[in-house]
Structure 1
């Protein structure tokens, strides 16, 4: 097979989504719809538990993406997760019990911590491993 034929084969496979990818997309969409509808049918405790599960799933996916796919050592994503959690707790105790304000404060604190340490991490040379 010549280089041109290989390029045409690759281009054809990229432009036409496989049926398996469509099925995965449909399954993901259905899962999102089910998750969005759960607060309508479940009590507070199961919703709280599912929220925690989803938050930890996002944390695990970030570590998997960085380490497994990119092959880079983790830089402590849990630290930013912890900064946000502590900020939300402190805002909830000392400022307000409004969940939206706690969430915004947690995201803002995690963002600031990530920006401060990320600037140094991106400019660092070499690897620690």
Structure 2
């Protein structure tokens, strides 16, 4: 699993990455009440907003950590947004994105680097 400074996580399986928000982000948001995930077929560009998560505290954009094509949005979150709080780095994933070049992930942090980054916040 890799991480961004915007608190997204990425798990690579073949040429498809699963993307969600980290436990740290879910805790900071508080109770999630709405999630808007991208639809399959959408092209996303690394660094651009591709999803929205709303909590009792705030609405936040979720940024694409990679460039590619969305192959699946987690529609289960429409009826159960609280899944993001209950299992942010598992069942609370936002989208699966097919990446043309997995080398994009080289610039992301591993778990140890992300943990160190969190200490600076």
Larger radius of gyration: 1
Higher relative contact order (CA 8 A, sep 6+): 2
Structure with more of its chain in strand, by fraction: 2
TM-score (norm 1): 0.22
